[in-house]
Amino acid sequence: MATKHILVVPGDGIGQEVTAVGKKVLEKIAAKFGHTFTYDEALIGHVAIEATGNPLPDETLEKMRQSDAVLFGAVGHPKYDNDPTAKVRPEQGLLKMRKELGLYANLRPIKLFDELLGASSIKPEILKGADILFFRELTGDIYFGEKGRKNDGDTAYDIAEYSRYEVERIARKAFEAARTRRKKLCSVDKANVIETSRLWREVIQKIAPEYPDVEVEHQFVDATAMLLIKDPRRFDVVVTANLFGDILTDEASQIAGSMGMLASASVGDGTGVYEPIHGSAHDITGKGVANPLASILSAALLLDISFGLKAEAEAVINAVDQVLKAGFRTRDIADAQTPAEKVLGTEAIGAEVLKFL
């Protein structure tokens, strides 16, 4: 019987719609397994800017710190994307949250539900059995270095930075995860050009002997972007820097059929944050068609990683599997074979998941 406090932070766009469903799944799990979960809500991103002028209000940060886990939606708004000169932006809230909570490790498991083998652009025979766990560093790199303008605004710069310590702590998490899996670790960098990547490779090489049971390879980021599509099964655990991780995990979403299926866990020094890897998707916001399965699977990661509730997490994953086996799909994962009546909206597919719980 666990008693836990969960902060729901829907953020922008479809973040609202999908976290509502993720929360229902947590409620159902608590009822079924006899846990007491309490909830609160807070603002971040564009909605926070609109309400307070600040993309991460202090109140939100404080509530995050006081919670046992955060169920997160998405941030972003086309308004800022189209205005490169905007000084206040939704993403600043997200980045500040990551930094303030010390969320240096972003886990992105890429696993294809067998029922979705046909939904991907990649051939089923290439995909079948692919199972990758990404560790993306989340509080360093070009995301957090000094940036600005020079020469009257005519030159822009961004500084990428990594310390040995930052590389080592994420690398150790990845090595340890590899030990519990197929014992392969691929470290991705651009050490043939970039100094931060050379430090990255040095650190991996230095600590590798402490994990003699893990087979380590180093790949350049360009080659990895190619190999992920050519032969996704060759990867087990992948560890990489913030920017490369951002790009490669979005790409790898195609291995799982759709971004709408991918959950992530951001963990580190304090409260863990669980969120879909998809963004705010304003093009489909408010239409009730967003795929909530990534938020539901994020709830499963939350139960597993922050609360240590393995059976509960498995019950959630299993329910998603059952819903897919029953032939239900959201639009993004439907294909030519899906009968129209099996293509459900956000709430309806959420209700099906609840039924299987």
Ligand X SMILES: CC(C)[C@H](C(=O)O)[C@@H](O)C(=O)O
Task: Give catalytic residues, as residue numbers.
Answer: 143, 190, 222, 246, 250
Name the residue among 140, 110, 137, 173 with its Cα closest to residue 305.
173
| Using rule CB under 8 A, residue 114 touches its own copies | no
108 is known to lie in a ligand binding site: yes
**Which residues touch 241 (CB under 8 Å, ≥6 apart)?**
136, 137, 140, 141, 162, 188, 189, 196, 197, 200
**CA–CA separation, 294 vs 14, rounded Å?**
12
| Using rule CB under 6 A, residue 94 touches ligand X | yes
Characterize the bridge pairing of strands 272-276 and 69-74. Answer: parallel
**H/E element, 201:** helix 195-207
∠ at Cα 315 (311, 316), nearest 5°?
120
- Compute, in degrees rounded to 10, the torsion defined by CA atoms 41, 44, 50, 53: 120
Alpha-carbon distances of 133 from 7, 80, 275, 334, 338, rounded to whole Å? 26, 32, 15, 25, 29
| Using rule CB under 8 A, residue 218 touches its own copies | yes
CA-derived radius of gyration, the chain: 20
| Using rule CB under 8 A, residue 147 touches its own copies | yes
The site that binds ligand X (CB under 6 A) totals a number of residues, namely 10
**CA–CA separation, 255 vs 127, rounded Å?**
7
The least CB distance from residue 250 to ligand X, in Å, is 7
Task: Kindly tell me which of 78 and 270 has the beta carbon lying closer to its own copies.
Answer: 78
The least CB distance from residue 264 to ligand X, in Å, is 8
Amino acid at 95: L
**H/E element, 106:** strand 105-111
The least CB distance from residue 243 to ligand X, in Å, is 8
**The binder of ligand X chosen from 41, 91, 131, 321 (CB under 6 A):** 91
Residue 4's Cα: distance from chain center in Å?
A: 22
- Which span (18-26, 62-70, 207-215, 248-256) binds its own copies, by CB under 8 A? 248-256
The pattern of x and - marking residues 230 through 249 that bind ligand X according to CB under 6 A reads ----------------x---
Task: Kindly tell me which of 68 and 246 has the beta carbon lying closer to ligand X.
Answer: 246
**Which residues touch 110 (CB under 8 Å, ≥6 apart)?**
130, 131, 132, 133, 134, 232, 249, 252, 253, 255, 256, 262
**CA–CA separation, 88 vs 113, rounded Å?**
39
- Which span (10-18, 103-111, 246-254, 310-318) binds its own copies, by CB under 8 A? 246-254
Residues numbered 178-197 forming contacts with ligand X, rule: CB under 6 A: 192-193
Q: In what order do the strands lie in the sheet with 131-137?
A: 36-41, 3-11, 69-74, 272-276, 263-267, 105-111, 131-137, 237-240, 184-189, 215-220
Rounded to a whole number of angstroms, the distance between the first and last alpha carbons of the chain is 18
Task: Kindly tell me which of 59 and 81 has the beta carbon lying closer to its own copies.
Answer: 81
| Using rule CB under 8 A, residue 160 touches its own copies | yes
From ligand X, its own copies, none, interface partner of 221 (C-beta below 5 to 8 A by class): its own copies
| Using rule CB under 6 A, residue 76 touches ligand X | yes
| Using rule CB under 8 A, residue 164 touches its own copies | yes
**The binder of its own copies chosen from 36, 38, 192, 337 (CB under 8 A):** 192
- The residue behind tokens 């560093």 is 137
Task: Kindly tell me which of 85 and 151 has the beta carbon lying closer to ligand X.
Answer: 85
From its own copies, ligand X, none, interface partner of 240 (C-beta below 5 to 8 A by class): none
Please state the residue numbers annotated as binding site for Mg(2+).
222, 246, 250
Q: Which residues bind its own copies (CB under 8 A)?
A: 76, 80-82, 84-85, 89, 91, 95, 121-123, 126, 142-143, 145, 147-149, 151, 154-165, 190-202, 205, 218, 221-223, 225-226, 228-231, 243-244, 246-251, 253-254, 259, 279
Binding residues for substrate: 98, 108, 136, 222
Residues of this chain that interact with ligand X (CB under 6 A) are 75-76, 91, 94, 192-193, 222, 246, 277, 279
